Amino acid sequence: MNIVEILTEKEKKKLVFKEYKKDEIIFHENALCNYVCLVVEGEIKITSYSYNGKQIIYNTVQSNKFFGNNLIFSNSPYYKGNVIASKNSVVVLITKNELIYLLQNNQNFLIEYLSQQSAFGMSLNRKLKIASFDNAEERLLYLLQENKGLIEFKSVTELSENLFLSREATSRLLSKMIKNNKIKRKENTIVLL
């Protein structure tokens, strides 16, 4: 469901729609979060750098998803990373007052917003659980279990981000588990044996 379509014409007129070019910074790390944002088109990444200069991607926000919603009501409403358009994107900026108005006056918007908040919380819990495992093999086995023994991924880089490992460590892990007959891999699909 396209969230913008849930809104009435009157509600849409209150919102600010902004276009961003690929690689354009929308908000800088440590900037005050004044908006809940909805990605209408494109993709947004929230990223920072370690002390060693390694890029850390905290979140990837696809179209029809919110960001900033966990900050705007917090005691420390500052972005924890740079918010960057990873593709040409259209983003709706919603102030705190406008968000409260929409939540109070549009039940369909309220349901979609709460549904996304719930899904985000579950995803965060899953990531924390994966990161808590001591070794890489346990992480991959858990991820396979969560996905009924089958994982499809776009690239080893994407899989490594989900496992909180480097790309190289993920490649070594896959090779080792294939050799030990624990998994089978065909292109970008892994099956638990």
* Residue 161 pLDDT exceeds 90: no
Q: What is the pTM of this model?
A: 0.77
Look at residue 91 and tell me whether its pLDDT is greater than 90. yes
> Which domains are seen in the chain, by residue range?
3-130 (2.60.120.10), 133-192 (1.10.10.10)
Least confident of 49-53, 116-120, 136-140, 146-150: 49-53
Q: Which of 35, 121, 110, 115 is nearest to 72 (CA)?
A: 35
| Distance (Å) of CA 120 to CA 36, 64, 125, 170 | 14, 13, 9, 25
Question: How far apart (Å, rounded) are the C-alpha atoms in residues 130 and 125?
Answer: 9
Q: What is the mean pLDDT of residues 155-176?
A: 89
Average pLDDT, the chain: 92
Looking at residue 79, what DSSP letter applies? -
How far CA 10 is from CA of 19, 158, 167, in Å, comes to 21, 40, 48
Q: Nearest 5°: phi and psi at 181? A: 55, 40
The answer to whether the CB of 163 falls within 8 A of the CB of 130 is yes
Model pLDDT, residue 57: 82
Order of all β-strands in the sheet with 43-49: 25-27, 82-85, 43-49, 55-62
Which pairs with CB-CB distance under 8 Å and at least 24 residues apart come from 124-128?
127/164
Residue 124's pLDDT band (cuts 50, 70, 90)? confident
Which comes out higher in pLDDT, residue 25 or 52? Answer: 25
